[in-house]
Amino acid sequence: MKVLHVDHIGIAVHGIDAGRLFWEDVLGLSFEGEETVVEQKVTTAFFPVGESEVELLEAVEADSPVGRYLAKRGEGVHHIAFRVEDIDAALQELKAKGIRLIDEIPRTGAGGARIAFIHPKETQGVLVELCERSGKGDGR
Ligand code: CO
């Protein structure tokens, strides 16, 4: 597979507004808006950095993947996403290598990206997302 670059770093936060105080006001990153991914019950906020982004993740409700993560582990780095050229080919390659996947089939993430997570048991405990974006130039 071809991994192009780090697409984004997902950070679980209790509140995006509070998160902006650091990422935008202190670090000086530009805030590019929020998007709620209804299926995942999460609101995401993007702060582009070069070819990558910081992505804050706020749970829409406690009973959601990010809500459960926050309850168990508190705020912090939730996942690292790598941009790949072809996510279908990447997933096939991983399956052929016997790598456990959370998503065998890509689903739609924020910004319309096609995404899939690799099981953290395969990655020394890091939740790794693969991400394919068709559009160019929006930095997501
Ligand atoms: Co992500």
Three-state SS string across the chain, please? CCEEEEEEEEEECCCHHHHHHHHHHHCCCCCCCEEEEHHHCEEEEEEEECCEEEEEEEECCCCCHHHHHHHHHCCEEEEEEEEECCHHHHHHHHHHCCCCECCCCCEECHHHCEEEEECHHHCCCCCEEEEECCCCCCCC
CATH topology of domain 3-132: 2,3-Dihydroxybiphenyl 1,2-Dioxygenase; domain 1 (3.10.180)
Rg (CA), the chain: 15
Evaluate if residue 140 carries a pLDDT over 60. no
Distance from residue 47's CA to the centre of ligand 1 (Å): 13
CB-CB contact of 116 with 73 (8 Å) = no
Mean of the pLDDT values across residues 11-38?
Answer: 95
Q: Name the pTM for this structure.
A: 0.91
Separation of 124 CA from ligand 1 center, angstroms? Answer: 18
User: How far does residue 128's CA lie from ligand 1's centre (Å)?
Assistant: 9
pLDDT of residue 110: 87
Residue 138 has pLDDT above 90, yes or no: no
The b-or-e profile of 26-59 (16+ CB within 10 A means b, else e) is eeebebeeebebeebbbbbbbbbeeebbbbbbbb
Starting at the edge strand found earlier in the chain, the sheet holding 128-132 runs 34-37, 42-49, 52-59, 3-12, 76-84, 128-132, 114-118, 107-108
- pLDDT on residue 135: 64
- How far is the centre of ligand 1, averaged over its atoms, from the C-alpha of 86 (Å)? 17
Name the range with the highest mean pLDDT among 36-40, 60-64, 111-115.
Answer: 60-64
Output the average pLDDT for the chain. 94
pLDDT digits (tens, 9 = 90+) for 93-105: 999 999 999 999 9
Ligand 1 centre to CA of 115 (Å) is 8
Band of residue 137 on the pLDDT scale cut at 50, 70, 90: very low
For ligand 1, the distance from its centroid to the CA atom of residue 98, given in whole angstroms, is 23
Model confidence at 136, in pLDDT bands (50, 70, 90)?
low
Task: Encode pLDDT of 56-65 as tens digits.
Answer: 999 999 999 9
81 residue type, one letter: A
**52 pLDDT higher than 80:** yes
Q: Compute the distance from residue 25 Cα to the ligand 1 centre, in Å.
A: 23
